[in-house]
């Protein structure tokens, strides 16, 4: 028998899961998502979240509370009389009365191999740390930050040059399928949970703008992981001289390379850059106000030569 599901999510990452739940035939009486945010060049236009736009396309009621801490919002949540709530990158704290409201509890789709990378930015942090694998997990939510017992997991290899954007797109599709399977097991009363390990806990704190500038004195592997872990958003960056003035470049893709020299020094005409130890080659970059461009395409319009430097 189909379940009565409240869906809670906000970014594009959550959209495939919402769509998959609907396609699986479950009843979704309400979708909760973050309120529309100011957008546009002047920040004057309010833009609905990707989840809100998908819910409206599907004809589902959308709710956008600023908080769930008030009794009126909690009463409205209870009144839905859901069997289960599915949460994927929602962005709001769920108080205990909300967690306890659905008959079968609240399940979260989380993009890491818990207890590693609890928190806000698990995809970015896994790549920045040089992890070789990650995955999607379905867990039962508790009041703690990603501390609940785990029901299902699917692991993915993190390739040596994969970016956060690449991994995001793979994980959101894996997560959608995993949640649908979890709901199928829940229908059959066959979804079992395992308590998370007490050891190996790490926290994926939100990415801060202050950590996006590339530090070329670090070893090449760390610089490479930094670039791909922040690509395409918010984007690692560095500065170099173009046309007689310093210009900021967003660095979107790189690969480990051969070479040595002063940190940040450009070693050849292919954008190979020396690091504290070893070197990387920039594969894709983006000028301010421009579009992403392959390194060779970029070099046709920007004179950057051996001996110049990134800072």
Residues 183-240: tens digit of each pLDDT: 999 999 999 999 999 999 999 999 999 999 999 999 999 999 999 999 999 999 999 9
Is 114 assigned a ligand-binding role in the annotation?
yes
pLDDT bucket at 43, cuts 50 / 70 / 90: low
Mean pLDDT along residues 149-164: 98
Mean pLDDT along residues 143-147: 94
pLDDT at 118 exceeding the cut of 80? yes
pLDDT of residue 274: 98
pLDDT of residue 20: 98
Of 21-25, 58-62, 76-80, 91-95, the least confident: 91-95
Mean pLDDT along residues 97-123: 98
Is 112 assigned a ligand-binding role in the annotation?
yes
Domains of the chain: 4-203 (3.40.50.170), 209-301 (3.10.25.10)
pLDDT of residue 195: 98
Average pLDDT of the chain to the nearest whole number: 96
The 10s digit of each residue's pLDDT in 233-292 is 999 999 999 988 999 999 999 999 999 999 999 999 999 999 999 999 999 999 999 999
Is 113 assigned a ligand-binding role in the annotation?
yes
**Crossing angle between the packed helical segments 15-23 and 50-58, to the nearest 10 degrees:** 20
pTM of the model: 0.94
| Percentage of the chain lying above the pLDDT 90 cut | 94
pLDDT bucket at 142, cuts 50 / 70 / 90: very high
pLDDT of residue 45: 82
Tokens 């949640």 label which residue? 179
Phi first, then psi, for residue 55 (nearest 5°) are -60, -40
pLDDT of residue 41: 62
pLDDT of residue 131: 98
The 10s digit of each residue's pLDDT in 3-41 is 999 999 999 999 999 999 999 999 999 999 999 998 766
- Sign of the alpha-carbon torsion through 291, 297, 303, 309: positive
pLDDT at 42 exceeding the cut of 90? no
Tokens of 257: 């390379």
């Amino acid at each position: 028998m189909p379940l009565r599901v409240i869906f809670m999510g906000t970014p594009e990452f959550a959209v495939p899961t919402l769509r998959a739940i609907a396609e699986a035939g479950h009843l979704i009486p309400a979708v909760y998502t973050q309120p529309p945010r100011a957008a546009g060049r002047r920040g004057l236009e309010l833009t609905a979240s990707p989840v809100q736009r998908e819910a409206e396309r599907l004809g589902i009621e959308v709710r956008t509370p600023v908080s769930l801490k008030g009794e009126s919002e909690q009463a409205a949540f209870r009144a839905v009389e859901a069997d289960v709530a599915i949460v994927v990158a929602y962005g709001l704290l769920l108080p205990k009365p909300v967690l306890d409201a659905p008959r079968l509890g609240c399940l979260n789709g989380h993009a890491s191999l818990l207890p590693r990378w609890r928190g806000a930015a698990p995809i970015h942090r896994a790549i920045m740390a040089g992890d070789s694998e990650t995955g999607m997990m379905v867990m039962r939510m508790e009041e703690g930050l990603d501390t609940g017992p785990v029901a299902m997991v699917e692991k993915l290899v993190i390739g040596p040059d994969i970016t956060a954007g690449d991994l995001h797109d793979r994980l959101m599709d894996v997560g959608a399928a995993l949640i649908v399977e979890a709901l199928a097991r829940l229908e059959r009363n066959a979804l079992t949970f395992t308590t998370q390990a007490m050891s190996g806990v790490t926290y994926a704190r939100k990415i801060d703008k202050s950590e996006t500038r590339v530090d070329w004195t670090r070893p090449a592997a760390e610089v490479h992981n930094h670039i791909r872990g922040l690509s395409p958003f918010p984007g690692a960056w560095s500065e170099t001289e173009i046309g007689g003035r310093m210009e900021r470049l967003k660095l979107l893709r790189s690969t480990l390379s051969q070479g040595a020299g002063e940190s940040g020094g450009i070693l050849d005409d292919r954008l190979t850059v020396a690091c504290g130890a070893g070197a990387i080659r920039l594969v894709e970059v983006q000028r301010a106000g421009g579009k992403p461009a392959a390194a060779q395409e970029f070099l046709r319009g920007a004179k950057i030569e051996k001996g110049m430097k990134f800072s």
